[in-house]
Amino acid sequence: MTHRQIIVFGEVLFDCFPDGQRVLGGAPFNVAWHLQAFGAAPLFISSVGQDSSGEQVKNAMAGWGMDLNGLQTHGCQPTGQVDVTIAGNEPCYDIVSPCAYDYIQSGQLPGLPDRPILYHGTVAIRNPVSADTLRAIKCRTKPYVFLDVNLRAPWWRVTDIIPLLADTSWLKLNHHELTELVPDCKDGQSRINKLFSSTSVKYITLTHGEKGAVLHSADGSPPIFVSPEKTMSVIDTVGAGDAFSSVLLLGKIRHWDFQTTLKRAQEFAGAVVAIRGATTTDDTFYQQFLNAWE
């Protein structure tokens, strides 16, 4: 069976923790990293600086077997960085601006597949240059769009996010982000209904942290619920949502049913919160899931 290629567009950066540890990350990069480990071979489109951090990104991607054709190098802007602090077991982010992924150039895009699945978030489009490049990718490829909302103050506006829903098929966000995007409704279900009635979105995955997630469908199918294991250990929750998204995308290209996809996405996210940071270079970490999902 032929699977559609996945394009992952957006930021790559280093998460810098209070103890001095630097972990390669960025939501789109994390998703692409996981997809590569699961054999999906995504095309990751981003930009790094002409600096030592940029070289680290390139070396990490090459070592992981990732396609570097979509990774640009910007001569004037640094590789992205986020200062992470943990408060109440939840991460807080100070996102450095500007940086290389703000300036992803449409003129430097590699050859793109027709009608891929396109994953993107909302951080990398804070700058018009990268936002224009995302529009160019959509225009050239006519993709199936998976939008993973990441509202990081002060780098977003409702007026920038809502237009993205015009060509989004699958929307993922948490209950806080849902309230931010649709503030004029009395409850979560009303907000979901309004998004379905006013946009072209077909599926909405609403995450609730330790309570799990729910998949809503525009066709009126009953919602599908999934909850984490109660015995799950937590080191930090950085990247849990990215892990969840990566398996939603994997389920899409492998044609898993929604119940199976959500269950596996929750299992994988539960494993990621038990490690420091959002990704790992430990092949056996991924192999346990590949073995179970065959």
State how far the Cα of 259 lies from the Cα of 261, in Å rounded to an integer: 5
Q: Output the pTM of the full model.
A: 0.94
User: Which residues have a Cβ under 8 Å from the Cβ of 74 and sit 6 or more positions away?
Assistant: 47, 48, 49, 50, 100, 103
Of 182 and 211, the structure prediction assigns the larger pLDDT to 182
Q: What is the pLDDT of residues 57-77, one digit of tens each?
A: 999 999 999 999 999 999 999
* Strand partners of residue 8: 44, 119
Question: Which is higher by pLDDT, 32 or 186?
Answer: 32
H or E element in which residue 91 lies: strand 90-95
Asked whether residue 1 carries a pLDDT value surpassing 50, the answer given is no
Q: Which two tokens stand for residue 130?
A: 């990268």
Instruction: Reply yes or no on whether the pLDDT at 112 is more than 50.
Output: yes
Contact 253, 4 (CB under 8 A): yes
On the question of a cis peptide bond just before residue 110, with omega within 30 degrees of 0, the verdict is no
Confidence of residue 281 (pLDDT cuts 50, 70, 90): very high
Domains detected in the chain: 6-293 (3.40.1190.20)
Predicted confidence (pLDDT) at residue 2 exceeds the cutoff of 70: no
Q: What is the mean pLDDT of the chain?
A: 93
Amino acid at 116: P
C-alpha separations of 82 from 79, 252, 273 in Å: 10, 30, 19
Mean pLDDT over 38-47 rounds to 98
Written as six digits, the tokens of 29 are 């990069």
Residue type, position 160, single letter: D
Backbone φ, ψ for residue 101 (5° rounding) = -70, -10
The region of weakest confidence among 21-30, 50-59, 68-77, 272-281 is 272-281
| pLDDT attached to residue 153 | 80
Cα separation, 212 vs 226, in Å, equals 5
For residues 22 and 57, give the distance between their C-alpha atoms in angstroms, rounded to a whole number.
Answer: 12
Q: Report pLDDT digits (tens) over 215-263.
A: 999 999 999 999 987 656 777 777 889 999 999 999 999 999 999 999 9
pLDDT at 154 over 90: no
